[in-house]
Amino acid sequence: MEMKSLYLLIALAPLAGSAIAGLLGWAIGRVAAHLVTIGGVAVSAVGAVYVLNGLLNGAPTFDGPVYTWLTVGGIDYSVGFLIDNLTAMMMVVVTSVSLMVHIYTIGYMHEDPGYQRFFSYISLFTFSMLMLVMSNNFIQLFFGWEAVGLVSYLLIGFWFKKPTAIFANLKAFLVNRVGDFGFLLGIGMVLAYFGGSLHYADVFAAAPGLATKTVQIFPGVEWSLMTVTCILLFIGAMGKSAQFPLHVWLPDSMEGPTPISALIHAATMVTAGIFMVSRMSPLFELSDTALSFILVIGSITALFMGFLGIIQNDIKRVVAYSTLSQLGYMTVALGVSAYPVAVFHLMTHAFFKALLFLGAGSVIMGMHHEQDMRRMGGLWKYMPVTWFTSLLGSLALIGTPFFAGFYSKDSIIEAVAASHIPGSSFAYFAVVAGVFITAFYSFRMYFLVFHGEERFRHVHHDDHHGHHDDHGHGHAHVPHESPWVVTLPLVLLAIPSVIIGFIAIEPMLFGDFFKNVIFINHEAHPVMEELAHEFHGAVGMGVHSLSTLPFWLALGGVATAWLFYMKAPQIPAMFKAKLGAIHTLLENKYYLDDIYFGVFAKGSRGLGTLLWKVGDQLLIDGLLVNGSAKVVGAFSAVVRKLQTGFIYSYATAMIIGVLGLMTIWFSGLIAH
């Protein structure tokens, strides 16, 4: 099989599975629906591994069109693939995590009436993300970008009879519209100024010549073209990758079923922005202002979203805020020109975050759809596989030496320490403080769920989704381990969560893995060179870390969580009482939802109402349309009275007219 056909197969196999399960699911039944979608994604996963293996062994990269669907003004709008190491690595991550989620879904959605529909959606999601990462031009990138947004809307609101789910998917859709508007403007800037091509290679070739070019957005004010273009493109990433202040949709997206939380938040939608900025490194390297902007936004997200994870009681929301914080870390790495480190953290995070989400889902299943951690405890005895894999995922998340998350997270902290770009000192504080916070909320969740007293004995079960009624009500349930279709993906995800960082750090950060793929101006931004100078192998890095600040902060976070929630629960209760104002601020998520709803949503509705009442009804309808009709009507009413239908009336009018004309004529003669 020639390579172009293989790339098409990788992209289209999940789409074929999605179409069959979605359109024919009612006819083929549940088992066939999950077999065909899992088969499609498995074909993609095997193909992706084959492609990556080929590239690592010297196969050439591919950059070419597959199908041109429109040519306007000399610009080709085409479907094209760019297959290099970055693409291949993303393809492997997306398809492998998606495959685990597909298998897991068999168990998790077992009782759900929308079973076939769900499989159709998650396969469509996988196809959309593959089209995004494989694209070689901005148009296809935008197609994939919008497609993952659409499918996330369908999945977050999957239980469409649940009002909170419908509100959450609308919120996700609207917030992403804001980001996508910026992204579209950025693509417009590329089309207008970079030689009229939307092909990556052409744009990157044209970029150095435009490094000093300025544009006038407002008359009389010169802006750097690169800075404007890069910031607009990054606004798109802020929406997709949930960066402050466009992050508000992500915690609410927990309303969707748990498998989709794992897919959206680990491997697909939220990583799209990080991938896009890495892919656009030749542009971003030409604007320090844009990099500074990215760095500060990422720092705010990493630190302040972590704080929100501390006070959550819903097991899925803790993991969601952890995702926000970790995306902040990746964005910080982008801001200091450490693109390989950002992508490395994206990869390690995909595995351990998918593991944590699926572990949380397994707990929810074992607890008969209970999500409140205050009603759990002591589950390690009942759910040993879920307990152990969740522990491994948590250890990876907090950056325990030799685990996957350690290598990527510590590399980010070191990269920020080595950077001198404006904002790097604040970013360093944010990422270091974030280590303690991450360890604290991760192990708060771990201890509350798996250890301590069994608080579920006294719970009157209340069904969450309205479609698991066969559990009964009004008595406690003993938790149980999940079936193998749920625990197998947990085990398979736990393996890379432990070892992938150790294996991949050297080739990805200090080897040739991203050579000719990611471009860094080493003279202006020597961060990667400084990291390479300090790196003495994966083992050496792990051993050295035992004497560094991040390690002790992580240890302190775990110890504090153990003390607060295992030994002395009165301490957090005291803090909550003493620091009521801060707790209320965190409880209300910094009031951003209220500001958006109160100022933007109500404000825009108010403006719309004003324009409708005054502009439309009063001025246009009342004055222009109906007003002119009334003037004509009034004039007609007067003229109508002259139309009597009697001959003597008309004869009289004619005589008066003739007399009038004669009078005017005579008066003219006399005047002369």
pLDDT of 467 reads 44
Q: What's 626's DSSP letter?
A: H
Distance CA 557, CA 97 (A): 29
Q: What's 510's DSSP letter?
A: I
Compute the average pLDDT of residues 350-355. Answer: 91
48, 50, 53, 57: CA torsion to nearest 10: -130
Note the pLDDT tens digit of each residue in 230-287.
999 999 999 888 888 888 888 888 888 888 888 887 777 888 899 999 999 999 999 8
Note the pLDDT tens digit of each residue in 65-111.
888 888 887 777 888 899 999 999 999 999 999 999 999 888 888 88
Note the pLDDT tens digit of each residue in 293-351.
999 999 999 998 888 888 888 888 888 889 899 999 999 999 998 899 999 999 999 99
Name the pLDDT band for 1 (thresholds 50, 70, 90). Answer: low
CB 545 within 8 A of CB 451: no
pLDDT of 460 reads 45
The percentage of residues in the chain with a pLDDT greater than 70, rounded to a whole number, is 97
Instruction: Give the rounded distance of the alpha carbon of 468 from its chain centre.
Output: 30
Q: Indicate if the pLDDT at residue 136 is higher than 70.
A: yes
pLDDT of 616 reads 84
Cis bond upstream, residue 65 (ω within 30): no
pLDDT of 573 reads 81
Which of helix, strand or coil describes residue 460?
Answer: coil
Residue predicted with more confidence, 502 or 644: 502
What the block records as the tokens of 86 is 């970055």
The stretches of 506-548 forming alpha helices (DSSP H) are 527-534, 538-545
Q: Which helix (H) or strand (E) holds 75?
A: strand 75-83
pLDDT of 474 reads 42
Name the pLDDT band for 473 (thresholds 50, 70, 90). Answer: very low
Note the pLDDT tens digit of each residue in 174-187.
888 889 999 999 99
CA distances in angstroms from 28 to 20, 21, 45, listed in the order given: 9, 8, 24
CA distances in angstroms from 344 to 298, 427, 508, listed in the order given: 16, 19, 7
pTM: 0.86
Compute the average pLDDT of residues 514-519. Answer: 86
pLDDT of 638 reads 85
Residue predicted with more confidence, 394 or 26: 394
Q: Indicate if the pLDDT at residue 288 is higher than 50.
A: yes
Name the pLDDT band for 476 (thresholds 50, 70, 90). Answer: low
Note the pLDDT tens digit of each residue in 589-635.
777 877 777 777 778 888 888 888 888 888 888 888 888 888 888 88
Q: Indicate if the pLDDT at residue 665 is higher than 80.
A: yes
A 10 A CB-CB count for 478 gives 10
Name the pLDDT band for 553 (thresholds 50, 70, 90). Answer: very high
pLDDT of 463 reads 41
Name the pLDDT band for 457 (thresholds 50, 70, 90). Answer: low
Residue pointed to by tokens 């999500």: 371
Name the pLDDT band for 557 (thresholds 50, 70, 90). Answer: very high
pLDDT of 635 reads 87
Q: Indicate if the pLDDT at residue 468 is higher than 50.
A: no
Distance CA 169, CA 153 (A): 5
Among residues 178, 411, 423, 133, the alpha carbon closest in space to that of 298 is found at 423
The percentage of residues in the chain with a pLDDT greater than 90, rounded to a whole number, is 29
